A and B are shown apart, each in its own frame.
Chain A
């Protein structure tokens, strides 16, 4: 144990050095440009729908090779350019060189200050600094953890499994009502899987549903890992899911709300997202199984009319947008989305409790899994 820890430490140091060098190269290039009185620029791969493609073979969303160039002498980019290097220098000076790790919120406060001779702040909101960090990640081709950064953690897991988290052995079947909260970095140098009797993983969108399942000890009865991402799964959760699915060869079932947003949560887990397309290969689980809620479940489980919620304009627009995504091009998905649009209603998972409080645990999920009633 102690040995592996020191190895980790030295590996970490080596990785930090490498990232430092990358940042340095980026800065040197800018200095060279400005010396020639040219407009300094940073190349940043474009993280937008226009520059992602769906890899049919790998069933992943991948980042294309189109880059945008962020120039300093350009009114619309000058501030971002300045911010990019502000973040880069803070990462290098305060994190990499000292070997410390911090949250992206912390970094926001580290880099926020009033610009000399003005009333303008370097950053006004964390919403401004987060994309700059992502930009830096892609332009350096480094992962967030390699910049010694992490996001606020979100998501919980319980189940019949023993893991090692930062050297501490943890039995996930003895986590009480709260569960083990999933850290934002779930790489193998932080988390190792020891032993498990789980036969599959169940990801639920909502914490409330996760609580229901945990209280009913669903995971014990059905030998599964019970995970929630509290909405859209964070990178830590997604990385963990991929590792569970790949390393332990466990099938992943996903239970989300019956609305475009729920469906997209499943999609991100399955094939990655547009804005983090460059990390898809480390996070996506292309075999993830969608067990609902589906529009057809309304009839299938004889739900009452009062659980229906009418689709609003935003829902419809989002659904139509999704119809055009190549990763929803397959027949079953087109059919699923079109049916939702046709029926004009959405449902939350909690709608199942309308029948009985434990209907989801006792009937819905077991039946879906047993009958193989899922979409991929």
Chain B
């Protein structure tokens, strides 16, 4: 919020084109697209050559500027709304259902980013009211730091105005035009202004502002500005947008978005009011804010040519060597020298004076020179415990597992993959597993098939973890798979930011994370299976004992009941259900490591006990004629319960005395 940058829409072509490549694409497209309406609208056609230059124009030569400015004068007539209606899909407003989702998403993302940056534990309220059949009112309210009154109109009613624009830092940050685009969409489809209520602190007044975008100028138009005497929040912001939309359920709906956000953000409390009046309340699952991600300078291995060009131009007055070592992370002056040498660019040149070819050479050299991996402090994973806490909040499952990989690097960008599993309980057993995909804590709801995360789940051999998996399919089990990719730069397959690209490094980390989780789950499933088989054992014996009582009673002339009693008395010695149930309970309580240690010990003991079996048999054979004096020793095999352990010693002594 501190570093708010203004991006005027075509007003001055030069500045517009100087946006970072990451954002540039949107800007560039807008620059390219917006030309057409101008032509169509039949404004005086500019000369061909100048149009072409403008289209390409991010180089920023002096001559071009002049041309661009001439152009700009003519372009004033193009309305932002024209641009927006033509390019809705880029911003996630393709259809009414997606528009509703995107609106909620942009508002919530903004709220969460603001809260986290201000170190406030987020409490947000999302409300969707149905105005009529096709019209909805989205209300998102947070307890964030609030917004200074003067900034409110710009932030909400000016496209491409924001704080997350130029930083290289892990944030939810969508396009940067998100919330204003949502407002514009609402305005275009319903004619209603956005209503913003905000207060920056106790004792200060809350402001309620109705604002619209002046679409021809891309400037806010304030319709109403009141001070609200009573507002229930000491600080925070409330955004209301009315729009044409469609509320639907399923994977791509708002409901799913809220549910998944809750899973990936356990520190967030959400109240969600659905159109039909249902209210879902998710309290905080964690009271700790995630660590604040460190902001880093770009890493030379991740940089793209356009970005490099812009960086060098910004480094006014610096030599190439100096510029490289200051704008990049992990590039020392010595490394910069090496890069220059490899590129054949004199390191003492002024950074701004390089030719296109020189910059290209420099770009290649940067990619090829060995540079330390960027610091991983810039990536903040959710963490295993919080993933499980999040999953618990969402699923009524039997087992929860999570595993967070250590940071890794793809193309110079540090990233962390983490994975969580929820298994059993009320999850449907005969359906394919549910996949929850996240990038920087934001749910990815569209294009699952194109996503590296989905691919990773498909490619994992779930059969190894005792789950069913038909060939080439997702596992069929009561399972939900959670995967989160945290990175300074998430490589999306497209501008729409719907699917993660399949980089080898990322695929590998996804695979490892899933395998790790799968192993943990499998060990629990096997333990449960053992427990079940123990109770089955018990049932089996209990069923046959009365039969044996009858038979043995009839043969020996005893009362069947008395023989039965003898068997029931001995039964506990041969069952270990209680103990396993204990271990499972301990694990369930989240005391995972301890439980694992315990079971480890136990299995060890079991093995030891089993090893003693041959000895037992031998002694049994030896004492076969002496009768059953030595037999009590046999108990040990099936009786690791405490009771049996305490009996072991006397049991061993007994035959010795007799022998």
Contact = CB atoms under 8 A, between A and B. Distances in A.
Q: Report which residue of B548, B556, B573, B635 has the largest number of chain A beta carbons within 10 angstroms of its beta carbon.
A: B548
Given A34-B567, A34-B570, A35-B566, A73 B631 contact: no
A37 B569 contact: yes
Interface in A60-95: 69, 72-73, 75, 78-79, 81-82, 85-86, 88-89, 92-93
A208 B548 CA distance: 47
Contacts of A27: 551-552, 555-556
A267 interface: no
B574 A115 contact: no
A36 B573 CA distance: 11
Interface string B511-547: 0000000000000000000000100110011011011
Interface string A85-115: 1101100110000000000000000000001
Interface string A258-271: 00000000000000
A120 interface: yes
B628 A32 contact: yes
Contact of B574 (A29, A30, A73): A73
A85 B540 CA distance: 16
A72 B627 CA distance: 17
B631 A31 contact: no
Interface residues of B, number: 34
A37 B570 contact: yes
Interface residues of A, number: 37
Interface string A110-126: 00000111101010000
A34 B566 contact: yes
Contacts of A35: 566
B338 to A, nearest CB: 70
Q: Report which residue of B536, B552, B624 has the largest number of chain A beta carbons within 10 angstroms of its beta carbon.
A: B552
Contacts of A115: 543-544, 546-547
Contact of B555 (A79, A85, A118): A85
B558 interface: yes
A89 B551 contact: yes
A27 B543 CA distance: 19
B638 interface: yes
Interface string A27-47: 111111111111100010000
Interface in B615-659: 620, 624, 627-628, 631-632, 634-635, 638
A296 interface: no
Nearest to A115: B543
B556 A31 contact: yes
Contact of B556 (A28, A36, A118): A28
Q: Report which residue of A34, A37, A43, A82 has the largest number of chain B beta carbons within 10 angstroms of its beta carbon.
A: A37
A21 to B, nearest CB: 11
A88 B638 CA distance: 28
Contacts of B638: 39, 73
Contact of A82 (B537, B547, B566, B569): B547
A31 B563 contact: yes
B612 to A, nearest CB: 14
A74 to B, nearest CB: 8
A23 interface: yes
Given A73-B638, A117-B543, A33 B631 contact: yes
Contacts of B628: 29, 32-33, 36, 38
A38 B634 contact: yes
B550 interface: yes
A39 B567 CA distance: 9
B566 A31 contact: yes
Contacts of A33: 628, 631
Given A73-B541, A115-B543, A36 B631 contact: yes
A72 B548 contact: yes
Contacts of B546: 115-116
Contact of B627 (A32, A39, A43, A122): A32
Given A27-B556, A89-B551, A120-B543, A39 B566 contact: no
Given A28-B556, A39-B638, 5 more contacts: A29-B627, A30-B552, A38-B632, A73-B638, A82-B547
Nearest first, the 4 A-B pairs at minimum CB distance are: A38-B631, A85-B551, A73-B574, A27-B555
Interface of B: 533, 536-537, 540-541, 543-544, 546-548, 550-552, 554-556, 558, 563, 566-567, 569-571, 573-574, 620, 624, 627-628, 631-632, 634-635, 638
15 contacts: A24-B556, A27-B555, A29-B627, A35-B566, A38-B570, A38-B635, A72-B544, A72-B548, A73-B573, A79-B544, A89-B550, A89-B555, A92-B555, A93-B554, A115-B547
Interface of A: 23-24, 26-39, 43, 69, 72-73, 75, 78-79, 81-82, 85-86, 88-89, 92-93, 115-118, 120, 122
